[in-house]
Structure 1
Amino acid sequence: MSAWSDFNDAKTNTNVIPKGTLAKVRLSIRPGGFDDPSQGWTGGYATRGSTGAVYLNGEFTVLEGPYARRKIFTLIGLYSPKGPDWANMGRSLVRGMLNSARGISDKDNSPEAQTARRIRGFADLDGLEFVARIDIGTDTNGEEKNEIRGAVTPDHKEYGALMGATMAMPFPSATPSGSAPMPAPAPSPVAARPATAPTNVTRPSWAR
């Protein structure tokens, strides 16, 4: 039988990037208009859902490699009425993104590194470029979709090549002391590539 009359052996059309792929991405925050100055949530970046959960609606665009221009949508938890877990995972993800974008080892606790992990507001995250570890989750219909659950820092052997010329980008001081950004070399960029299993930063079902 012709291949154009029997399609049982045709490959399934999936648009999901393989789990564990490393890729350089840019975060764009889709504003939700919710502010709480007491929490430092200003500028209209946060979104408050119908359950009372608060999050950043993140759109991550792959910048290089075979998946360039692909977009991955992930919520970064800020608050859940059911407990602190989602917010803690959101803070962990942001810490990793800042480490990656600013060329800071996760083990570095120097004054400069601590300054690099501070932001003046969510506007400092909007447009942030870093190396992400891509995972696979499910949407509200149970279909597979990509998610960003963790970032790759300079501790990873692939970091320098993937970050390329923007490694350790200058960043504004988030403290009155105004510590200067740390310089770093700029190796050549390479394509996105598979890596090890992702970290545990994700959005639990109870927070959706």
Structure 2
Amino acid sequence: MSYDLNDAQPQMAPIGELIPDGTFAKVRLTVRPGGVDGATPMDARLLKASQSSDAKMLDCEFTILEGPHARRKFWQSFTVAGGKVDEKGQSIGWKISKSTFRAMVDSALGLDPRDESPDTKAKRVLPGLKHLDGIVFAARIMVEPASNPQYRDQNRIANVVLPDEPQHAAIMRGETVPPEPVNAPPRKAASAPAPGWQAPTPAWGAQPQAPAAAPAW
């Protein structure tokens, strides 16, 4: 027996090496179940409990699919319930996460973010957050400085790239797009617990009234 190594993929970047600030990439979201029930049957044991508040979060792994950083991964959690609230008693973290999730759907399905037609709005309705598992969209990635020198800087979603932005089509074709660094300033150490969303509906082709179907990616 022999081992032919000629078809081996290139070695991964060193562990701990960050994806450069401002990198544009096509990424896939994978949900990492945390054992806490969500608001729908589909989301049973899907969420993760915050260790510092009553927040419930969607724990996500992002994998770059193409380009010079292909197969690189980073992680980010999004608050979907609990945590700090606004003057109306609504979860601030969920409002931010909801905007990000909508942008992911628009980016993945090529929806004009200004399109409010019934068909388009139906594609933004999620039967459950589990439906986001596997979504592929265009993103700009940032380096978020650590607020404590004991911790490392981390990669985060800076913003989801929408179909009406000039980079979107090239990113989704897998082309290399020049980076646009975010240059985020160092964060101050928080005196209170940081919001659980720190970091970033679908009917991926399915009608909201129909039984939950596989996303259209």
For normalisation by structure 2, the TM-score amounts to 0.69
Structure 1: which 5+ runs fail to align? 1-12, 165-188, 199-203
Contact 2:38 2:46 in 1 (8 A): no
Percent identity between the aligned chains?
Answer: 33
Select the residue among 179, 203, 206 that pairs with 1:194. Answer: 179
Identify which of 149, 165, 171 aligns with 1:156: 165
Matched, 1:78 2:85: no
- 8 Å CA contact 2:26, 2:65 repeated in 1: yes
**2:90 is the counterpart of 1:102:** no
Correspondent of 1:130 among 119, 123, 137: 137
Aligned equivalents of 1:192 and 1:74: distance in 2? 23
Find the aligned partners of 2:46 and 2:179 in 1 and give their Cα distance.
32
Query: What's the offset of the Cα at 1:143?
Result: 1.9
More strand by share: 1
Q: Distance in 1 between matches of 2:71 and 2:108?
A: 19
Taking structure 1 as the reference length, the TM-score comes to: 0.71
Question: Partner letter of residue 108 of structure 1?
Answer: D
Kindly report the root-mean-square deviation, in angstroms, between the aligned alpha carbons of the 2 structures.
2.6
The 8 Å contact of residues 16 and 145 in structure 1, kept in 2 or not, is answered as yes
Cα 1:45–1:32 shift into 2, 3 Å: same
1:206 aligns with 2:206: no
The corresponding residue for 2:120 is 113
Q: Does 2:141 match 1:147? A: no
Which of 18, 21, 25 is 2:20 aligned to? 18
Residue of structure 1 in register with 2:47 after alignment: 46
Query: Mapping of 1:176-191 within 5 angstroms?
Result: 189-191=174-176
Output the CA distance in 2 between the equivalents of 1:149 and 1:76. Answer: 13
Figure out how many residues of one structure are paired with residues of the other and give that number.
167
Q: Deviations over 1:98-137 (max 9, x none)?
A: 1101111211111122112111112210010000111111
